[in-house]
A and B are shown apart, each in its own frame.
Chain A
Amino acid sequence: MAKPSSDQFSRRAFLKGSSAVAAASAVVTSAAAQEKSAQSSQVIAGETTVSLNVNGKSMTAKVEPRTTLLDVLRYQFNLTGAKPVSSDGSSGASTVLIDNRPVEAAVTLALSAVGKNIQTVESLAGDAVPKAFMQYDASQCGFCTPGFVVAVRAFLNRNPNATEEQIRAGLNGNICRCGTYANILQAAISIAKGGQNG
């Protein structure tokens, strides 16, 4: 039986120009009622100097709106642990922590990281994760390794007692071309079991 096209929502621009509806709600305030402070908010065009908090230090960078956090880290701060592998967020190679959340610096605008705590792999020098990577030989060419280290750290912060099954299910945001997954898995398991997550 042929399906009538009206069965689906093909109402283009359904929303266009539609007038406001009354939406009584306990949890949101209508936009109009909010303080009109748009004038005070920043619109940045062209190059500007900003201060970024990286690995506990305040650092100054010249950025354009389009400058990614990854480019600032690599080209201006010479923090090249985060790697440029993909711009589609699929490889995990540029993973850093922003306010303790793992994000891909390759798809993060530098300006959106202003005022936040940025932590790169370089700050994990004394952490258990890189040590476990060394112990379990969890690196070959090593280009994906820093991103993996940060991802493992972030994952274990949230799941300090992760089981092997959880690690296999949860650490799939990074790609390794050399095939070091088996060793990374062992490294992560050793930390989860060893309680080195503090």
Chain B
Amino acid sequence: MAEVKYIWPDNHKSAYIGKRVVRPDTLEKSTGIAKYSYDVNFPNQVVVRALGCPHAHCKVISVDTSAAEKVPGVVLVHLIKDKAPAPGGDPIEIQAEGTLLVAVAAESEAAAAEGVSKLKVQYELMDVFVDDQNLAAAEAAKRTKAAGGGIELDDALGEPGANEEEKAWEEKTIQKLFQDSKYVVEGRYGVDVITHCCLEPHGATVYWEGGKLRAYLSTQNVSTTDDGYATALGITADDVQVTCNYIGGGFGSKFQPGYWGIAAAEISRKLGRPVKFLLSRDQELKIGGNRPSGYIDVKIGADENGVVQVWDSHHWGTSGFNGSTIGVTNFPYVFHPKNVRRRATGIITNNEPSVAWRAPNHPQACAITQTAYDDLAAKMGVDSFDIFMRNLENIDIPEKASLYAEEMRIAAELIGWSNHWHPHGKGNKRGSVVEGLGIGIHKWGGAAGESNCKLRVYPDGGVESFCGTQDIGTGTRTVCAMVLAETFGLTLDAVKINIGSSTYPFSGASGGSTTVGAVTESHRRAAQEALAKIFDLVATKLGAPADKLEASKGEIRVTGYSDKKLTWKEACSLIGIRPLEVNAEFKRGNSPLSSVNVGGVQMAHVAVDLETGVVKMKKLVAVQDMGLIVNRQSAESQIYGAMIMSIAAALFEQRINDPKTGAFVNCEMGTYRLPRLGDIGELVVHLHEPENERDRGVIGLGEPPAISGITAIANAVCNATGVRVPSQPMTPQRVLNALRSAKG
């Protein structure tokens, strides 16, 4: 057999790749048949509810479980390791409200919850600090930590003199650059902490079977979560089987079993009964995952054309009690002036540490830096579109400049930029309503993750694959099926995709928009290899060279000879008695099937009611490049979803901590505001596919469109009102406050 050359089919030959393909499993999800970890029930199962620490910072001195144990239906009260002291044990410091201390297993959720309410815990309260916006207060409270920074200066500016202190020279040089700037803009911008708020809370349903753990875990990481369990439970990974057929949202927060997942396994081992342990809604918001905040003081200097020549910023924010903030690397975002000085300070607050949220750091970096570019346009009184365009001459991936320019023009066309544009704050007012436009641009890597696929072709023509990946809303099953069907010339229902189990070949976690790249790599490789073997058999049978064969429409035929062919079934019967099995392996790196780096532009059109501060979306446009599109329909859906998440972060969601106690006060769905169907306005998606875009192969798409929409909306509000609302979300309160401050 000749060596297989991995390649995607030409566009005009594709039966599935790049087409709109309906996801069949949506029907399972829509009718309640799909079973999530929360839905899996086993006979004799107990349900766990846990006590979340009511204090943001305290020592847990002791726990009295006696009353809880007496509650009818309660089966076991379990102290969570390292969170609640065993009788006589040393007090344990807790640094975030909601931290689970004690788990109560019972015959029903209600009994477990009642058990929790009967726990008596002795706490020693400690100082609480949660104000992540107030840097001075954090410094006074000794709650800050340096979080990186640095300086880059144009080589043409020379070097410090022999006797000159470096810092002093840098300062002098930066100040000189500002003096030489035609326009200088100073601003303060910010984005609040948001939480992942997965609708299926974190957790699992687990049981033990002969010393082996079976975990139905809500996870984005089917293949390697077993290690996390094994280490914590003192067993080996082969004793753990993780299953996740469906997951109700993860967004970067579900890569580990979590200490609650470990506790579930421990309780199950103690009781010898299946255990269901998922977080309650408030716990999901408090400890299930959050995205760090960032607030920035920035000064930029631009030349007469509005091209930024110098950037100087200091930002701060919190990632919870580990005290970090958004990484400085992407400041400013996408744009990269020749001279940049930046500094970051983390604030230690009494909150659960942050975890990855869609496109970690990018949405925040975009929102607190590209707003400064928009304010430059406002100061100059010129069109924001022009300022963004002109600054494409200094971006961090220079070869993408023309692509961004093209995407900007398409987006402008789609939103009617030239019709609706007016200088900041200078638009027509209808009653109390003003409208405005804004832009944001973004980038993302999206390289395919590692993935293995076991493929079986049965002598009767059956095809199935096994892959330890998962469907986090991606449409993973459908893209895998599309690749196999495409390669074998079969219909989608002729192939069976098995995912969601750690017993299947390793496939990477679904994070960083790596999944579609990963699974299409492994599936295409496996299918091409299997097909080559089948072609060899068919070639012998038909007396034609293997390289003249093609698989299409359920047949394998000799190219150019319509009568020289076998049906797929006939061809597979040549395999023999045992199925043909191929194991394909893809490691990250260069590949003809996938690559890296996408970009996109989003433009927003908003209406702002100046009397109420309420912002309404009129229209949001996304233009996105992404290499080879696999499932066009899913690709569009991913972008719509990401745009709606941008609306959420721009206008609605935020964690609100009580300033004194640190309590997360809006930890329910009714108070943790998210947009609803009526809040989204008109959404327009444009998949940007210039000539040769397909040749780049598959690149991740899920996260990038969740980046720049927030910025576009923020800039649109500023354009509408002529006033910068400094922080996201732009709640009516914040809009009114900004308008009032501007009036003086």
Contacts and interface: CB of A to CB of B under 8 A. Distances in A.
Do chains A and B directly touch (beta carbons under 8 Å) in the complex?
yes
Interface of A: 64, 66-68, 71, 74-75, 78-91, 93, 120-122, 124-125, 129-131, 133-135, 137-146, 149, 167-169, 171-172, 174-185
Contacts, number: 183
Interface in B1-39: 22-24, 26-27, 29-36, 38-39
Most interface-central of A74, A75, A185 (chain B CB within 10 A): A75
A71 B249 contact: no
29 contacts: A64-B108, A75-B109, A82-B32, A83-B199, A85-B199, A86-B668, A87-B668, A88-B669, A89-B670, A120-B32, A121-B31, A125-B31, A130-B27, A134-B26, A134-B27, A137-B637, A141-B200, A142-B30, A143-B199, A145-B30, A174-B677, A176-B199, A176-B644, A177-B251, A179-B645, A181-B640, A181-B677, A182-B644, A184-B677
Contacts of A66: 110
A61 B645 CA distance: 40
B276 to A, nearest CB: 9
B34 A142 contact: yes
B634 interface: yes
A142 B248 contact: yes
A104 B26 CA distance: 22
Interface string B652-686: 00000000000000001110001111101001000
Secondary structure of the B contact surface, majority rule = loop
Contact of B31 (A87, A90, A124, A171): A124
Contacts of B33: 81, 122, 125
B643 to A, nearest CB: 7
Interface of B: 22-24, 26-27, 29-36, 38-39, 41, 47, 108-110, 197-200, 246-251, 281, 472-475, 633-634, 636-638, 640-645, 648, 668-670, 674-678, 680, 683
A168 B675 CA distance: 12
Given A85-B199, A88-B670, A179-B641, A142 B109 contact: no
B683 to A, nearest CB: 5
A172 B637 contact: no
Max count, chain A CB within 10 A of own CB: residue among B110, B648, B677 = B677
Given A141-B472, A142-B26, A177-B249, A86 B32 contact: no
Nearest to A93: B199
B281 A87 contact: yes
A68 to B, nearest CB: 8
Contact of A91 (B110, B247, B669, B675): B669
Nearest to A149: B30
A146 B248 contact: no
Contacts of A183: 637, 640
B621 to A, nearest CB: 13
A89 B671 CA distance: 11
B248 A138 contact: no
Contacts of A179: 640-645, 648
Given A71-B108, A75-B41, A80 B32 contact: yes
Contact of B32 (A79, A87, A171): A79
The 3 nearest A-B residue pairs measured at CB? A81-B32, A143-B248, A179-B644
Given A80-B35, A88-B668, A182-B680, A141 B634 contact: no
A63 B527 CA distance: 52
A16 to B, nearest CB: 30
Contacts of B200: 83, 85, 141, 143
Nearest to A122: B32
Contacts of B638: 140
A22 to B, nearest CB: 42
A88 B280 CA distance: 12
A65 to B, nearest CB: 10
B676 A181 contact: yes
Given A74-B39, A177-B198, A141 B249 contact: yes
B27 to A, nearest CB: 5
A129 B110 CA distance: 33
Contacts of A79: 32
Contacts of B634: 137
Contact of B110 (A71, A90, A142): A71
Interface centre among A93, A169, A176 (most CB of B within 10 A): A176
A174 B669 CA distance: 10
A84 B26 CA distance: 19
B281 A86 contact: yes
Contacts of B32: 79-82, 120-122, 146
Contacts of B247: 141
A81 B39 CA distance: 8
B676 A137 contact: no
Contacts of A140: 473-474, 637-638, 641
Nearest to A188: B677
Contacts of A185: 677
A180 B645 CA distance: 10
A198 to B, nearest CB: 19
Contacts of A120: 32
Nearest to B278: A84
Contacts of B246: 141-143
Contact of B640 (A130, A134, A180): A180
A142 B29 contact: yes
Contact of B473 (A135, A142, A169): A142
Contacts of A83: 36, 38, 199-200, 248
Nearest to B643: A179
B668 A172 contact: no
B668 A90 contact: yes
Contacts of A85: 199-200, 281, 669
Contacts of B472: 141
Nearest to A130: B30
B30 A144 contact: no
B676 A175 contact: yes
A43 B39 CA distance: 32
Contacts of B670: 86, 88-90
Contacts of A149: 30-31
A71 B47 CA distance: 11
Contacts of A139: 23, 26, 29-30, 473
B29 A135 contact: no
A52 to B, nearest CB: 16
- Which of A138, A139, A171 has the most chain B CB atoms inside 10 A of its CB? A139
B136 to A, nearest CB: 35
Nearest to A131: B27
B38 A146 contact: no
Given A80-B39, A84-B38, A172 B677 contact: yes
Q: Which of B27, B30, B197 has the most CB of A within 10 A?
A: B30
Contacts of B475: 137
A196 B474 CA distance: 29
B356 to A, nearest CB: 16
Contacts of B249: 141, 143, 177-178
Contacts of B198: 143, 177
Contacts of A89: 670
Nearest to A146: B32
Given A145-B30, A181-B680, A134 B24 contact: yes
A122 B27 CA distance: 11
A146 B35 contact: no
Contact of A141 (B23, B31, B473, B680): B473
A79 B248 CA distance: 17
Given A86-B669, A88-B668, A180 B637 contact: yes
